[in-house]
Amino acid sequence: MKAPHLVERFTRAIWPGRPRPSDERWVESILEPGELLLFRRLPNHDQRHAIRVARYAEEHLGDDGEPRWLAAALLHDVGKYDARLSVPGRAVATIVVAADGRRHLDRWSRGRGPVRRFAVYARHGEIGADEIRRAGGREVAAAWSAAHHHPEQWLAIGIPPHVVQVLDAADNA
């Protein structure tokens, strides 16, 4: 991710407001019951981000904007919830992990305190995938959650390449 994108996301995240009621109804029309429970536990800023991602995907996929792709967009970050980090904490985690933390994630995952939460945050995709599966969610949403930060895995997850490109662009828009 590019620094300007991260700064913009941080700025949007500190605003506490809920998603618009019309967006909440739209989400309810797409997600299955177990998926909706995962989505609703997210903090407001994560819900708003997921809705922006899914709306972008819907617009750019046009007739290919199937509910399963929109569900993948809406649920790609559900694993972040488990890190229990504030917005500033997430910013610190992003910097620490990017600086040299990736090689420490296994050890940090077994630890306590902030470094454990940093590891959970860094692994939010795979954690979210497990949660989506346990909730009875769509496999395509779980696959995208696990792979969305790992381009080397995109060909193997069974999502058409043009959909993957839109989902990735949406997350980084």
In contact, 68 and 140? CB cutoff 8 Å: yes
CA–CA dist 10, 58 (Å, integer): 24
pTM, two decimals, is: 0.88
User: Which amino acid, residue 45?
Assistant: H
- Which among 75, 28, 26, 31 has a CA at the least distance from the CA of 53? 75
Which are the contacts of 122, defined by CB distance < 8 A and separation ≥ 6? Answer: 93, 97, 101, 102, 105
What pLDDT tens digit does each residue of the chain (173 aa) get? 566 656 666 666 666 689 999 999 999 999 999 999 999 999 999 999 999 999 999 999 988 889 999 999 999 999 999 999 988 898 889 888 888 767 788 888 888 888 899 999 999 999 999 999 999 999 999 999 999 999 999 999 999 999 999 999 999 98
